[in-house]
Amino acid sequence: MRKQNYLNNRDILKEIHKSKKTYCKFTTPENGDFDIILPSVERINKTNIAEGRKLRAERLGRAAFDAAQLESTVKLKLDEFKVNTRDVPATDVVFRVMTFEHIPLDPTGGKRKKKQIKELFTEDENDITEDIVPDDTPVAKKHIRCNFPPFFHYKITEDGEPYLVGKSHWIGDLETGEFSKDHGTMTNKLAHMFIKLCERYATRSNWRGYTYNDEMRSTALVQLSQIGLQFDESKSQNPFAYYTAAITNSFTRVLNMEKRNQNLRDDILEMNNLTPSHTRQNAEK
């Protein structure tokens, strides 16, 4: 039986995927598991189909190994469950295509992020104008903000023609359904992973001595619950680093806020000829 490990990149990715699937609609449950991520449906070509078959073979072999390992009392070898790429038909490959096509426009107009537009269209943030941004970009259209990057799932026919098998942020039938971003939920295991991450990080030597350590952990948990599903698998396979950076920012934010409050208290005490904190006293020596 495989040891439970809440801080493993592969297991975190699995729970992120399970959580995102609760916000999606697929023609069959099997079509919810993607094999390769592409930026557009036009990129479904022979090269990416071959890569998708290879990745699907690896995924099927790993899934069979994990299932067998849970039932076995002895240690098994992954090579024993290897799936040959030639045994994977191209029509079984599931392509995840990142797109905003089905996301409604923000009725309030949204707030365009200059930093995001700068990275896409110009080298100088001060030079950004309406004309720089093409009309067919997600930034220009200002879609409703989603809790994770939206996507479609595609398969191909025997003739190589792609057809839709799933949508993110969708409820009901693929054709007659509607956009929804609030009907899904985060898995309990992913929530436990967030708790473990915050607890482990709070015990580090540079954080554990603060009296407001509990507040740091609670603030980090709130932050992870808000941005936990925004991790984009098409850009990275290291969610551990992504979440650790978010926790670091949350801890630092609380620390800076407490320092400002302490400085205000010390200023008030000194104005009234009272003794300030030991930190202020040591700083003035």
In the chain, % of residues over pLDDT 90: 62
Average pLDDT of the segment spanning 212-219: 94
pLDDT digits (tens, 9 = 90+) for 217-238: 999 999 999 999 999 998 999 9
User: What are the structure tokens assigned to 234, written together?
Assistant: 């098409």
Average pLDDT over residues 38-47: 94
Identify which of 59, 60, 76 has the alpha carbon closest to the alpha carbon of residue 68.
Answer: 76
**Quick check: 207 and 201 in contact, CB under 8 A?**
yes
Average pLDDT across the chain, whole number: 86
CA-to-CA distance for 73 and 68, rounded, in angstroms?
A: 10
At residue 269, the pLDDT reads 86
Is the separation of the CB atoms in 182 and 192 below 8 Å?
no
Is the dihedral angle over the CA atoms 204, 206, 207, 208 positive or is it negative? positive
**Least confident span in 14-23, 33-42, 68-77, 235-244:** 68-77
Task: Report the range of poorest mean pLDDT among 56-60, 201-205, 235-239, 268-272.
Answer: 268-272
Q: Is the dihedral of CA 56, 58, 61, 67 positive or negative?
A: negative
Task: Report the C-alpha gap between 149 and 84 in whole angstroms.
Answer: 32
pTM over 0.75: yes
Q: Quick check: 196 pLDDT over 80?
A: yes
Residue-level pLDDT at 109? 62
Residue 218 tokens read as 């609670």
Higher pLDDT, 126 or 282: 282
- Summarize pLDDT for 31-40 with one digit per residue, the tens: 999 999 999 9
